[in-house]
Amino acid sequence: MPSSVHQIGLEAFAGCMSLTRVTLPDSLKAIRANAFSGCTSLRTLDIPNSVTEIGDEAFKGCSSLVSVAIPEFLRMIGSEVFANCRSLRSVTFSDVTEIGHGAFSGCSSLQNLSLPDSLIDIGESAFFACTSLATLWIPRQTASIGQKAFQLCSSLTSLSIPESVARIGPCAFSGCHSLKTLTIPKLTEIEDSIFRNCSSLAHVIIPDSATRIGPSAFSECPCLTDIAIPDHVTCIADFAFYDCQCLHSVTLPDSVREIGQGAFFDCVTGW
């Protein structure tokens, strides 16, 4: 591609299924939405550091793409930019502050993820169904993890969430079947289905800051054996611990005012 090119427009190369390699010039500033989406044979991609904007779904469905380096001055990765890049194994981040909706969803070969220290917001479904992802370290500045952000990351065994995280959205880690232990940061609300169907989760620490445990928050966690509800919790919502079949010890504080429908239904071990 010639050095005179400053912008690649909407759907410019979309659906070019025989395209295997792209060399982008250092003059390039912007890659617009869907520019290379559906380029199923594209294996090699070098995005120059001159690029400051990548549009939504720009590389969606590039199912042969193996690795990518995020340009130095790009601050936001937009919606579904690399969604369904099923062969993507490695991502090198720059000083990104936001990862948008579904940015890497369905990247089923992505195994290790080193998120940048600059990251503040992880968007909805950002890494949804990254089924090979094994370890995850959330940076210290991160403030928000969106709903379904890591849902169905079924190989995730190790997870570190810093105290900077003020909100974790519904279903954020549901279906993470390999996750065994967890310390939740200082949230005031454990939202709906946040750890639902984490079938290996055996130990969890709920923060003292929590005042509410949302619907189905820990439902279908059959390996969870004991839980201590902190002193400030006033509500344990519907089906919060439904079908936690090995749960044999629950400590409820005097602060609890409401226990919802089916909150501990089918916890067959008994207390």
Q: pLDDT per residue over 199-215, tens digit each?
A: 999 989 899 999 999 99
**pLDDT classification of 163: cutoffs 50, 70, 90:** very high
**Residue 269, pLDDT score:** 65
pLDDT tens sequence across 128-154 = 999 999 988 899 999 999 999 999 999
**pLDDT classification of 183: cutoffs 50, 70, 90:** confident
pLDDT tens sequence across 227-255 = 999 999 999 999 999 999 999 888 899 99
pLDDT tens sequence across 44-57 = 888 999 999 999 99
**pLDDT classification of 79: cutoffs 50, 70, 90:** very high
**pLDDT classification of 3: cutoffs 50, 70, 90:** confident
Exposure string (b/e) for 182-206, b if CB count within 10 Å is 16 or more? Answer: bebbebebbbbbbbbbbebbbebeb
Which is higher by pLDDT, 114 or 172?
Answer: 172
20-25's contacts with Cβ under 8 Å and 24+ in sequence apart are: 20/44, 20/64, 21/45, 22/46, 24/48, 24/51, 25/1
